[in-house]
Amino acid sequence: MAMSRRDRLVLRAFSLWSLFVWGVLIRNMLKDHTHGFGFRAVHIALAVVSLTFAALTWQIAGRRRAAVLSDRR
């Protein structure tokens, strides 16, 4: 099943936004000294999981684009 160009762009925009938001959170958690280690560790772990989903989403959008391009040949 083909994915539209617009859908791929939305998925890539989601991936970039997630990278920005969770990257900022990680940076802030590493600099934060008002919360305990456990709190920061849990939030950084959640950020890593979300970044992994964002990377996979980017990869899926790219794979669908490659499939569309190969179908045109």
Local confidence band at 23 (pLDDT 50, 70, 90 cut-offs): very high
CA angle centred on 61, ends 28 and 69, rounded to 5°: 150
| Cα Dmax for the chain | 58
Local confidence band at 57 (pLDDT 50, 70, 90 cut-offs): very high
d(CA 65, CA 25): 31
Nearest to 28 by CA among 43, 49, 50, 17: 43
Q: How many CB atoms lie within 10 A of CB 68?
A: 14
When pLDDT is averaged across residues 24-46 and rounded to a whole number, the result is 96
CA gyration radius, the chain: 17
Q: Where are the domains of the chain?
A: 5-72
Per-residue pLDDT of 36-55, as tens digits, reads 999 999 999 999 999 999 99
Q: Quick check: 68 pLDDT over 70?
A: no
